Amino acid sequence: MREITDDYMRQMMTTTKEYSIVILRRGPKHHEPETGKIVWEHGRRNFALRDEGLLSIVCPVRDESEIAGIGIFNTNLEDTKRIMEGDPGVQAGVFVYEVHSCRSFPGDSLPTESILMARG
């Protein structure tokens, strides 16, 4: 690995930008019969938010935990809360959420393949 100096870290930290992280959890009505349709519309809304540049990273969580997903929004804390309050899954009680302000590097993205697999 390349050596990362303190000066480099300080310089890079000045390039960060404010984002919001949403941790989406299964809500009290997550197991009700109509949940599938509501989750589908939640997904449709996520596609629209991605298309508008508001939701930069969306990660559904498919394990048995209470976490249903994680999203990184290109919005401030207040706007992200407003967006989430309009989510059909949140409105129906299928999901509950928490929002946290964070900072990251503009332009970061998920890799298209695993680094370990690529090094194979």
Write out pLDDT tens, residues 15-59: 999 999 999 999 999 999 989 999 999 999 999 999 999 999 999
Q: Are 87 and 45 in contact (CB under 8 A)?
A: yes
Q: Is residue 8 part of a domain?
A: no
pLDDT at position 82 is: 98
Model confidence pLDDT, tens digit, residues 81-103: 999 999 999 999 999 999 999 99
Q: Is residue 106 part of a domain?
A: no
Q: Is residue 119 part of a domain?
A: no
Model confidence pLDDT, tens digit, residues 68-81: 999 999 999 999 99
**Burial (0-12, 13-18, 19+ Cβ within 10 Å), 53:** exposed
Report the relative pairing of strands 55-60 and 17-26 from DSSP bridges: unpaired
pLDDT at position 115 is: 65
pLDDT at position 86 is: 98
Q: Is residue 116 part of a domain?
A: no
Q: Which of 86, 96, 24, 90 lies closest to 57, judged by CA?
A: 24
Domain coverage including residue 54: 17-63+72-98
State the pLDDT confidence band at 119, using cuts at 50, 70 and 90: low
Q: Is residue 103 part of a domain?
A: no
The number of distinct structural domains making up the chain is 1
pLDDT at position 1 is: 87
